[in-house]
Structure 1
Amino acid sequence: MASGSVGERIAAYRRRRGLSQTALAGLVGRSESWLSQVERGIRSVDRLSVLLDLAKVLHVDVEALTGAPWQYAPNGGSVPDSLSEVRQFLSRYDSLLGVAPDRPTTVPELDLAVTAAHEAYQAARYEDVIAGLPALLSQADSLHRTAFDGRRDVLIGYSAAYALAAKLLTKVGAGDLSILAADRCATAAVEADSMTARGLAAYQVVCALLRSERPEDAEPLAVGMAEEAQRNARADRPTLASVAGSLWLIAAVIASRRTEQAEAWRRLDQAQALADMLGADGNHAWTAFGPTNVGIHRVSVAAELGDPAAALRAAESVDLDRLPKGLKSRRAQMHLHLGWAEAQRKRDADAVLHLLEAERIAPESVRYNVIVGELVRGMLARQKRGGRTSALHNLALRAGVLR
């Protein structure tokens, strides 16, 4: 692995590939002057999608460019340990071996377990969710194999459990496992013949595909399912409307990663229409969908497009206090975007304040975010050596950027 800053690593791998700055910049849709500034450490890579594109063109993993594992934060050691148990469970296929469940469960019991896990996930307690995931999925598998009365409810409960698993595994970067969990979720949703379950499953498949760097596969599913769900959405069916809106939001993010600005805003407008129809923020089917979440995604899309001024303007109309109680990860995400925007404008003190606020709200939401490390490294490079006892320095230590 090349040493040095992200910019120095990009330069080293670019030269190894025999590419000029002009050629590499063109392949990732940026200017030669932008790449020159990145390689010299004057600016940081301002979009996750660009970091992914650079890694793909240079034939290296993202980790080779960032200098640290990007699935997990360097100081997130307990998550990989727990994740090995999840991987082991998903690889056992007890049903094929005829292994009987330890204890039969019921739909209400499974629903309670899924609810508790979703609450922990939305509070950004990811390590807690991973620790309990094998037991939760064992419950779901047990019910799926042994319960035949009320089969539709069984399938919906099973699908919900694996949707939660896919969501969490995508968050921590376990791409192979998240696709497996999302596929099991989708299979059960189709068998249950539930539009809501199908929409939720589609959303998790899309997220897993994006995490595995397959936006070309994710986009048609996101848009197609959003259109189908929206045709059936009504004000008196808030769950389905929320699912449709969430699909439009992830479709907007996909468009922004392809730098299709007009299409990204159009998809956000589709989501806005559904949010306006609902009239209030909600958390139906754990989607966190509503007017405020649409506003947060306007900030997200501006960030993905590399436009800090637009991100800051969009944030002015977002009132995080309107979000339902418990959505800590969503609140923290807003501050992460604003931290990025302020860092791009070289307003590092304001950027640090947003990162610290995100950390206060949901520490694990900061710890397992690949962009945070890059932001902190960029600001450290601009900071005078005499200021290394600052809040930024302490944040860098906690994030594993400094040892």
Structure 2
Amino acid sequence: MERVVGTVARGIRCPIINEGDNIEEIVVESILKAAEIENLTINDKDIVSITESIVARAQGNYATIDHIATDIKSKFEDDTIGVIFPILSRNRFGNCLRGIAKGAKKIVLMLSYPSDEVGNHLVDLDMLDEKGINPWTDVLTENEFRDLFGINKHAFTGIDYIEYYKSLAAEFGTECEVIFSNKPETILEYTKSVLACDVHSRIRTKKILKNNGGEKIYSLDDILTESIEGSGYNEEYGLLGSNTATDDGMKLFPRDCQPVVDNIQQMLKDKTGKTIEVMVYGDGAFKDPIGKIWELADPVVSPAYTAGLDGTPNEVKLKYLADNNFAELRGDELKQAISEFIDTKNDDLQGSNESLGTTPRKLTDLIGSLADLTSGSGDKGTPIVFIQGYFDDFTK
């Protein structure tokens, strides 16, 4: 019988994960149980995607604002700290800022505008045009910003992030001055000790600061890179990718993920005889067209994946073939011609007309988006996503 279904993504339920749980056994058992109950046939090149959250929970990779404060204090001592380019997020940065403030006497909080790097807006871009403000050159104090734009609450959360972030510092009696600039070097007019809080542009930011006279220059991936008094940590990403867990606690991005995905792949191979690809995923790296938010507050979409998920898609565009290479064909003849073209396509189609319009992204970024949208971030209870048919094409 002709196959009529292509890629299928299923959210898989599993037990609530706690510290010390064997995440590898739980994932394998959950997949096998789902396959049995739902009468699924497991195949080579199926994909198991696991949200980073349950890996970190099993590892017990947690830290408190006190741990953050201790690390901040050890790096900056009593200096005024420039805290620059944080994303506007209670979940992602609220407790980070509380820890920073608890370890400092004064901070100068420099916010990028009109939005942070992932698209959370402080002010509408049209308002900048109306007021004649150039965000790439103009530096604004808090009073100047308020006089120009007033109070603008986040479209989805209803939070005035300027006031909210100031209140977090005030909680510990820490002085907080707020300025607005998109030039990293602006902060050096206030202090030479800077914590860069941007996620994806942090390397460039630190380079600019050091080249312009910055002295103590760190970024979030330099904080909690080792355990502080028994805390969790992440050698590579530090506080990047962390989330609020409790009133005073953060769940950090998971560490040592490669052995996890490799072991799950081998365990599934032993149980099923099939080679299944496995990855850990975080944010999906997709953009909301209304709120303008780019869903990638994590440092990477996937911190670990098995070898079969390396690289980018090597696909042809069916409608291009139908409209160009085989425009004169219809029906079964067209189907046969396209199938033969796919079967004999080059191993590298980069730059070819036939691949025009295919998505030029890493496989793990594409699959991570699919998994993130499937599992959601709320109460679906499906932190494992089982994907079938992803690597199939029109001929299968």
What is the TM-score when the length of structure 1 is the normalising length? 0.24
Q: Larger helix proportion, structure 1 or 2? A: 1
Q: Which has the higher contact order (CA 8 A, sep 6+)?
A: 2
Alignment TM-score, normalising by the size of structure 2:
0.24
